Amino acid sequence: MRERTRTSLLIAAMLAAVATAGTPAMGAGKADLNLTDQPGYVPSPAEEKVAPEYLPQPVFFRTSEPPGTIVIHTDERFLYLVQPGGRAIRYGIGVGRVGFQWQGQLKISRKEQWPDWRPPPEMIERQPYLPRFMAGGPGNPLGARALYLGSSEYRIHGTNQPQTIGTAVSSGCFRLANPQVIDLYDKVPVGTRVVILQAAKL
């Protein structure tokens, strides 16, 4: 009887190991996804449903920035649209991977619906398979909307890879799932100030 119990426990442990193989530990994994751009891939409506914490939602937010400012906390993977009364609308975002994160202050210089995509030479050098030009549309890596930051190469934009929201995988741009970037696009005008913050280094 004791031997049978020991065998049952061993089998249960083996089944549990198989079930969890390849599953990242809690608190790890999402920020370390090793994904590349997938031009032409069109996500399904189900794939565009992000986790509840990444949906736009009002939150208390302490800042000295005036209402209407966008504040991006790279380490938190959240973008905040400052509102009156110590509040903000919070959006979940994907950010630049290690070596491509930055901080600064810029303004939205232009806005585009279903923008065309022209990968810069540096990106093509890293990913030679990328097209040199791709017209806007559901399979475009810039997604449904783009907010261009100053005269830089950086943008706040949609994505055809909604599974990357909450991760650090981009080349320095900030991405939102398409339904969320459309919501943000409709709320902010050209000229909006954007403040990008990184975690303080200890």
pTM: 0.78
Any domain includes 177: yes
Q: Strand, helix or coil at 56? A: coil
Please report whether residue 121 resides in a domain: yes
Chain centroid to Cα 87, Å, comes to: 22
Count of domains observed in the chain: 1
* Greater model confidence, 39 or 149: 149
Instruction: Please check whether residue 114 is in contact with residue 137, taking contact to mean a CB–CB distance below 8 angstroms.
Output: yes
Tell me: pLDDT of 159 over 50: yes
What integer is the mean pLDDT of 83-102?
Answer: 94
Going by their DSSP bridges, the two strands 95-96 and 168-170 should be labelled as parallel
Catalytic residues: 157, 173
Q: Which domain holds residue 48?
A: 29-197
22 is a domain residue: no
CATH number at residue 94: 2.40.440.10
**Angle at CA of residue 127, ends 34 and 35, nearest 5°:** 15
Task: Write down the pLDDT at residue 3.
Answer: 46
Which of 166 and 11 is assigned the larger pLDDT? 166
Tokens of 62: 């302490």
3-17, 44-58, 102-116, 150-164: which has the minimum mean pLDDT?
Answer: 3-17
Instruction: Indicate whether 174 belongs to any domain.
Output: yes
Please tell me what DSSP assigns to residue 13.
H
CA–CA dist 177, 92 (Å, integer): 9
Query: Within a domain: residue 15?
Result: no
Whether 9 is in a domain gets the answer no
Residue 23 in domain: no
Which range, 27-31, 53-57, 136-140, has the best average confidence (pLDDT)? 53-57
Beta pairing class for 70-73 and 78-83: antiparallel
Position 17 in a domain: no
